[in-house]
């Protein structure tokens, strides 16, 4: 939101007990036609989103949103996938007025960034879908929404589809003892997205403000076939092959965006064969 639109801070009694969680699922859809291309795709995923590079990515996000990292763990999995977890604190931990023990426990239990990756492929097709789930959760003044644009930007240009969820739970009290179930204005996650991100994606909102639940889906507007190819020279594909492949990739992205499969008849027609195999 613009700085001029930011309301004055609420005066709270003691520690802010509101738990705020931002969840982001990033999807990247890619095409591989041969075992060699599949191997190259797996190597690319490991290089960009293995445990160590993912850890460094999340460290940068934590730094940019002003969080302190108390502890970090990371793990790669066989045959694929990785997990990273950062335990966070904000400046209150290092302030001149130490937190009460119960407040510190809340920090250690609730403020974190986690990431899990899920490389996936359709065994009967040539389409691969990579998914990364990132969760930023805080208990205190630090808002996960500060990480939103940094988080999306860290996966650009790979992100074809994103699903965003934001929720606020619990309550805190103001100095007069009144319960406050949310401490910042929000009608939609999209209002916190940078203009360049809004221009890049088509968006769909499903919001329940009274329940403090907000959901936004994003689908990339532009489609560049070359961005989805792994070790494939587009010049070697015929116009018909390029058209058919683009249709299949875009259909895959739309299905993920909508969260629904086509009918079995449509699915049978949509099956994409490898152009090299034809």
The DSSP annotation for 233-277 comes to -GGGS-HHHHHHHHHHHHHHHHHHHHT----HHHHHHH----GGG
Q: Which residues are catalytic?
A: 111, 116, 139
- 62 exposure class (CB count in 10 Å sphere: 0-12, 13-18, 19+): buried
Query: What contacts 90, CB < 8 A, 6 or more positions away?
Result: 66, 67, 68, 107, 111, 138, 140, 141, 142
Dist. CA 124–CA 230, nearest whole Å: 18
Dist. CA 22–CA 232, nearest whole Å: 36
Half-sphere CA count of 247, side-chain side, radius 13 A: 13
Q: Could you tell me the two tokens for 179?
A: 């319960």
Q: Could you tell me the two tokens for 194?
A: 């940078």
Query: What contacts 230, CB < 8 A, 6 or more positions away?
Result: 30, 31, 32, 37, 38, 40, 41, 44, 128
């Amino acid at each position: 939101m613009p700085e001029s639109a930011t309301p004055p801070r609420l005066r709270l009694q003691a520690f802010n007990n509101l738990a705020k969680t931002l969840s982001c699922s990033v999807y990247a859809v890619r095409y591989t036609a041969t075992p060699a291309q599949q191997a190259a795709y797996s190597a690319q995923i490991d290089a960009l989103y293995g445990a160590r590079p993912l850890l460094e990515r999340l460290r940068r996000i934590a730094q940019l949103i002003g969080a302190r990292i108390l502890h970090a763990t990371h793990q790669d999995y066989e045959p694929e996938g990785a997990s990273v977890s950062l335990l966070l604190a904000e400046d209150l931990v290092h302030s001149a007025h130490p937190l009460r023990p119960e407040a510190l426990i809340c920090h250690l239990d609730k403020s974190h960034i986690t990431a899990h990756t899920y490389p996936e492929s359709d065994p009967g097709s040539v389409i691969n879908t990579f998914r990364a789930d990132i969760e930023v959760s805080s208990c205190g003044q630090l808002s996960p929404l500060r990480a939103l644009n940094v988080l999306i930007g860290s996966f650009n240009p790979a992100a074809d589809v994103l699903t965003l969820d934001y929720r606020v739970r619990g309550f805190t009290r103001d100095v007069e003892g009144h319960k406050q179930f949310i401490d910042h204005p929000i009608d939609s996650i999209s209002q916190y997205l940078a203009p360049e991100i809004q221009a890049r994606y088509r968006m769909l909102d499903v919001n329940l403000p009274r329940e403090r639940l907000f959901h936004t889906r994003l689908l990339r507007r532009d489609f560049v076939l070359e961005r989805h190819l792994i070790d494939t020279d587009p010049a070697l594909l015929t116009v018909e092959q390029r058209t058919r492949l683009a249709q299949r990739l875009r259909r895959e992205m739309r299905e993920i965006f909508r969260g629904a499969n086509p009918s079995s008849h449509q699915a049978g027609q949509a099956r994409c064969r490898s152009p090299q195999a034809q």
